[in-house]
Each structure stands twice: as C-alpha cells, then as structure tokens.
Amino acid sequence: MAEKKPSTPRCAAFVGSYLSGKTTLLESILHATGAINRKGSVTEGNSVGDSGTESRARQMSTEMNVAATEYLGDEWTFVDCPGSIELAQESFNAAMVADITVVVCDPDVDKALGVAPMLRFLGARQIPHLIFINKTDTADAPVMDTLESLKSVSARPLLLREIPIREDDHVIGHVELASGRAFKWELDKQSEPMEMPDGMQEQYEAARSEMLETLADFDDTLLEQLLEDDDPSVDETYSNLTRDVQQGLIVPVFFGSAAHDHGVRRLLKALRHETPTHEAVAERLGVDAAGGEPRAQVFKTLHAAHTGKLSLARVLSGEIADSNTLNGDRISGVFRLLGGKQEKQNTAAAGALVGLGRMESVTTGDMLSPAGDATASDWPEPLAPLYSLAIHAEQRSDEVKLTGALAKLVEEDTSLSFGPDADTGELLISGLGDVHLQITIDRLRNRNNLAVVSHRPQVPYKETIRKTISQHARHKKQSGGHGQFGDVHLDIKPLPRGSGFNFEQKISGGVVPRQYIPAVEHGVKDYLTRGPLGFHVVDVSVTLTDGQHHAVDSSDMAFRAAGQLAMREGMPKCNPVLLEPIFQATISVPNQFTSRIQRLVSGRRGQILGFDAKDGWKGWDEVSVQMPQSEMHDLINELRSITQGVGTFDCKFDHLQELAGKEADQVVTARAEALK
C-alpha cells in the first residue's frame, strides 16, 4: 500500500446493533493510537465511551460519545453511537457528518438483520461505509455465513477484504485479499506477518477473484485486464478499492476482535487510506468546502450542569475560532473531546469535529455561518415517535421545573418530544420505545433531581348519541334580593360521524332575550366536556326552541345553568354510545415476517387493509391496517419481538368508531372509578 500524506482532520462514526462491541472497538482504537494508556471495560463502566451516568447504570451506551486522537500524523475523531434501535437517531445524526461509517456487527447469522435499517440509511444518502464483523476469535464465529446474511440486507455490494486463518476451529489471523499477505493476531498488539498456511492458496485465489470481479463492475480498465487474464498490481487494486469506497459504490468487510485488538490496526489502516476527506461531507450537505467562510454542521446538543450548553459540530469550511459569532451567537469556547473530557483550543480547522460552548439559540441540525443563512441540504427529519408515557412530577411544586428540564432533553435528543395531550390534558413524553423513555426519566432524576411518576396514557374516548329528544329545564333560585331564573327547551339530536357540534336557536317572540342565547350555548358546551358515560360528547346538534325569562331574575349565569341542566337531564335519554379512536397504520417488516403480522393485528382487534412491497427496500413489505388506539400503546414492543427488532410503523388518527359490549362496559366503569 503506497504511503499516504497527512490530510485534514477526519471523522468516523461507529454504529451497529446492541452488544456488537462498538464501545470496545473505540477503546481499542484509542489505546492503539496512544490516546489512552490503558483500555477500560464496558462491564466495569470505565471506558471512554461510557462516560454518562445512564450508560454506566445500564451497562450500555445511551448517547453518542466523541473521542479525538491521532494516527500516523492524521487527526481523527471517532463517534461511538448507542446500539439500541430505540436510540437510532444518534446513529443517523452522527453518520450525516462522518466521512465514513463503520457498521459493527456480531458474527451471528440471525443478527445480521439488525443492521438492515442502518445500511439502508447509509446507502440511500450515499454515505461511505464499511462493515467490521466483531468477536470473530471464538470457535463458533461463522464469518463467511455472516457475510452472506449481510449481503441480503445491504443495498450496496459487500466486498470481503480478508479471509480468516483458522487453527483448531479458532480464528487466529487473516489473509489480506489485496496484497496476499498473511498476519497472525497478537493479543493487544500489532499483528505479526506469517506464511500463508498450507491449503489456503486455493481459498485465497477464489476470494480474491471474487473481489476483483466486483471491483471490475465499476472500472472498465480493470474489467479488460481480468478478461485478458492480466492480474492487476497490488497498487492498482488498492487504488480501485479506495476510489470505490470513497464514492460509496462498495462496502468493504473486515473482521476481528475489538476486545483483544485483533484486526483493529488493520481496520485503522484501511480507514486512513480509504476514507474520503471532509469535502465529501460538505458536498452532501450543500456546502462549498473550498470557500473561505466558516461553516459547520451541528449534529448533537448537550447540556451539562457545570459547563452549560455544548453544540457538537463538524467544521465543513473555513476556520472557527473562539469568540466568533455564528448564527447570531458568540462562541464561548472551542473544545476537543475525549469522552466526558473537554480540552479547550483556540481554533478548529475545516474537517475538525468540536464542541462549541454556550450557543443558546442553536439547535441540532442547524448549519452555522456568520450570516446564519445556511441550511443543510439533506438533514434527516427526526424519527417519528412510536411509544408514549404520561408523566407528572412527584412533587406538585416541581411541575414548572419538569417542563424546563424536558425542553433541554428534547434539545439533546431530536427523536424525543413532549407536550400536553389535547384531549386528556396529560403531559406526554414520546419516543422510540420504552427503554428510550425510561432513559429520559433516569436523566430527569440524575441531572435535575426530579422524581416523576409515569403511566400508560389515557385513550381519548369520546361519546355520542343515537336518539333525538326534546328536553325542558328550568333553573330557578331565590335566596333574598335578586334571584336566578332561566327556562329553556332544547332539541338534542345526533349528527353524522365527524360533524362535531352544532348549536342553533329558533326563538320567536323574545321568550328568551337575544343577549341570553350565547349563555345557553355556553351551558350546553359546559356539559359536553363530560357526557353521561364520562367522556367528551361529539357529533351532536342542539337547538334552542323555546323558553321563558324573568325581567328581574334572569341573567347570563341563570341561562347558562339552565342550558347545562337541560343537557344533564336529556342526554341520558338519547341512547348514548361510546366512541373509540381508530388509527390507520402502515407496518414495515422484512417479508419473512409478514405472515406474523396478521396474527398480531387480529390479536389487537385490528383489520388488515392490504399488503405491498416497501418502495426502495429490497425484501421488505408494508402492511396497511386499522387498529384501535387503545391497542397501539405497546404495539412497537410486540412488533420488534417478532421481527428481530427491526419492524416499525407509522400511524395517524383515522376515525371514531362505536364501541359496545364488554369492552365498552370496562372502559365506562374504569372512567367512573377515575372520576370519583
């Protein structure tokens, strides 16, 4: 491999499934490059990538961690992203600003599907990426079988870059396909050159031929060489590999064991030679990297108790200095990051990934520039929420504090949202799953000393009527001095579904003075907030047809009370019926699981409307369904459990539907108990 000159700072993001070993890989790389003196352990909670309280408590990464280092004269920043599918927003945001993304996966055929959504995201946005199959030093690590499974979920051709050397059913080293050189792995050290074992030459030649044939699909000159049985040189091969990786045409596949430093330095060398520079990221995001004006893309926001707000950004052009003003905010510090540690510096050159201090009006996804007029051309929308919890502070005095704390957490995590439910009034937090929201609750406690109570959100049931009636009511009260008098006749009748509420008056002769008619309507609306079944009443028409008034005792208050009384006495006679919200949902799953969706939907009182292939997703289906909202609260949990974690859905309210029988009785009884 030809020697390479130092380049501008580069960035790689580590993404992949939960427990695949991304944080351990980061630790090994930082140790190999001299950024840390000794490797920490995820189990012991002392690794660079586990600096957060929630990460240590759960023994899993709960947010991205950033670590800067140097390797052979090049400046590198590595971003370790959490593996849980419920924290996928972190991975997507990091990949958007990285020069290359390393997809880390287990040597397990059944787990290959777990990286499918990430591979789809990277392929759709033409982000260069490679695969590192981790933990391959165990006896039962099926490297080649895992590769075949990964091929079925990748939109780009996968290119095996090395083959394993086995001894007594253990992988002890590798043979590089580009150079033909063999290496024996050494524990926590650089691999040592070795002779290719007897009997591997044929396997090597077959694998190398397959690699070259894949490369020839993108290079006519190489194709002509192969057709003429002209073997390309090592330098020509590496040149083809570098070009195709940087253009996102192929996905190279490496393997090793991060826990023992096996294959880690080989991965570093590949990254150094084949990763594109920051200009490619700038072009993807619509920035002219050659321009002298400073521009940077914010991809993460952090709030720390002692240092305040920190905006993580990739510098795409120009140079950013402490005290610069970008997007109207003055930078109060430029920081180089190593996990939870921050090292202040004066400037950051193009390509650097840094933290920018106290940019209060800046949010994740913003493109920074002196004029504040730049925007990213293709920044992904936050992932839609799939799961919600109703919460409230244990101490009523903490309610205002709770709202402020949630606002900061939403700044940090764009896939998290919160707000009051328009129908029930409950404060809801919404995200990508129960683990996601439990981490949020942990952060409220750990960072803000806020204890909250959470529970399943109420379903916004409604009620309506089936029967038309006429109702007379009189509100009369005498207690000395002016009394209260209001007399009304109301016609109450049902309206077609979705019509809402309608109020009319057919008063003649001034029996109810005009100034009191709005008060009657207000009284009717007062009652409709809680009908005879205990829920908000919809699709009802009320007409004021007659009434009486008293010259002295009538008032707005009296007629409002009369209107409310007429509804209270009349509505139970209208044959009230419960309505439950029905949602339209589109469920997305790999097609090998489509048959399971029918059982899932029917078990939740849903109805399947149709099937179709998911556009642009090879081997995936979309299933259109209608399902009661009451059955959708934990839908994502079951869906993931039957699809190896990758199934998802999107949904929206469709209509209200009558609910009768045992289910309706249970809802009404529970409501009555809650209102006591």
**50: amino acid identity, one letter:** D
Residue 242: pLDDT above 80?
Answer: yes
For the chain, what is the mean pLDDT?
Answer: 94
Q: Which two tokens stand for residue 502?
A: 């309608």
Its CATH architecture, for the domain 283-368, is Beta Barrel (2.40)
pLDDT tens string 155-191: 899 999 999 999 887 899 999 999 999 999 998 889 9
pLDDT tens string 597-655: 999 999 999 999 999 999 989 899 999 999 999 999 999 999 999 999 999 999 999 99
Residue 3: pLDDT above 80?
Answer: no
Q: What is the pLDDT of residue 40?
A: 81
Confirm whether 387-455 and 579-674 share one CATH topology: yes
pLDDT tens string 88-113: 999 999 999 999 999 999 999 989 99
Burial of 361 (0-12, 13-18, 19+ CB in 10 A): exposed
Q: Domain extents for the chain?
A: 10-276, 283-368, 387-455, 463-574, 579-674
pLDDT tens string 507-517: 999 999 999 99
From the list 592, 503, 521, 502, the residue with the least C-alpha distance to 559 is 521
Q: Looking at the chain, how many residues does it have?
A: 676
Strands 334-338 and 341-345, bridge-based pairing: antiparallel
* 453 C-beta neighbours (distance < 10 Å), count: 11
Which sign does the torsion angle of CA 35, 38, 41, 46 carry? negative
CATH number assigned to the domain with residue range 579-674, chosen from the 4 options 3.30.70.240, 3.40.50.620, 3.30.530.20, 3.40.30.10: 3.30.70.240
Its CATH architecture, for the domain 10-276, is 3-Layer(aba) Sandwich (3.40)
Q: What is the pLDDT of residue 57?
A: 64
Main-chain dihedrals φ then ψ at residue 63, nearest 5 degrees: -160, 160
Q: What is the pLDDT of residue 378?
A: 84
Give kind and range of the element (H or E) at residue 252.
strand 251-255
- β-strand partners of 76: 10, 69
CATH no., domain 387-455: 3.30.70.870
CA-CA-CA-CA torsion for 203, 209, 212, 218, nearest 10 degrees? -130
pLDDT, greater one: 440 or 110 = 440
Q: What is the pLDDT of residue 616?
A: 86
Give mean pLDDT, residues 78-96.
97
Residue listed under structure tokens 């609260």: 633
* 151 C-beta neighbours (distance < 10 Å), count: 15
* pTM over cut 0.75: yes
Residue 262 is given by DSSP the state B
Give kind and range of the element (H or E) at residue 11.
strand 10-16
Q: Grade residue 58 by pLDDT with cuts at 50, 70 and 90.
A: low
CATH fold group of domain 463-574:
Ribosomal Protein S5; domain 2 (3.30.230)
